[in-house]
Amino acid sequence: MTERQKLWRSYEWKVKDQESKGFSFLMSFEEFCDAWMKSGKLDQRKAGWDGYVMIKRNYDRPFSVDNYRIVTRGFAKMDLGNHGESEFLSFRKSQGMAQMDPKKAEMRKKRIAESRRNKRHSPETRAKMSAAKKGNQNARKTIR
């Protein structure tokens, strides 16, 4: 497969991806190719954190000749866009999967640990745990 064919597949994917997010893609295939050629990173497009990808400069606007940049995939994942969050993070928030604030996460861990600290197991659970330790045949077997 030639570089131009690979770029065409990438272009098609990018257009469909942006349309699925409600944005239009305002670059023609020729402009898309030119952007990659001018960047000098065409041969470094690959999977992995050190591979180069094309992202938007301003995530609120569609892809266009004046609204793109070519960066490493690792940078794109951590990139803080114009509104303080990456496209990846804003997608996760829209799906209700945003990462918790580290301070809140630490407080939550402490609350959970505190609630479990003085809990006792029921007699039935203790018997099951004891039987499992001893290798009792009547112990509930776990499937791995």
Residue 79, pLDDT above cutoff 70: no
Distance CA 18, CA 14 (A): 6
> Mean pLDDT, the chain, as a whole number?
77
Predicted local confidence at residue 61, as pLDDT: 85
12 in any annotated domain: yes
- 63 and 29 both lie in a single domain: yes
72 in any annotated domain: yes
114 in any annotated domain: yes
- 30 and 90 both lie in a single domain: yes
Distance CA 101, CA 97 (A): 12
Domain range holding 8? 3-94
Predicted local confidence at residue 105, as pLDDT: 72
Out of 11-25, 30-44, 47-61, which region has the weakest mean confidence (pLDDT)?
A: 47-61
How many domains is the chain partitioned into structurally?
2
pTM of the model: 0.52
Predicted local confidence at residue 12, as pLDDT: 93
The pair of three-digit structure tokens given for residue 53, joined into one six-digit string: 């990808």
Out of 12-16, 46-50, 124-128, which region has the weakest mean confidence (pLDDT)?
A: 46-50
Going 72 to 78 to 82 to 85, the CA torsion angle's sign is positive
* 44 to 5, 28, 95, 130: CA distances (angstroms): 16, 22, 31, 57
- 46 and 107 both lie in a single domain: no
27 or 137: which leads in pLDDT: 27
Element (H, E) at 111: helix 102-117
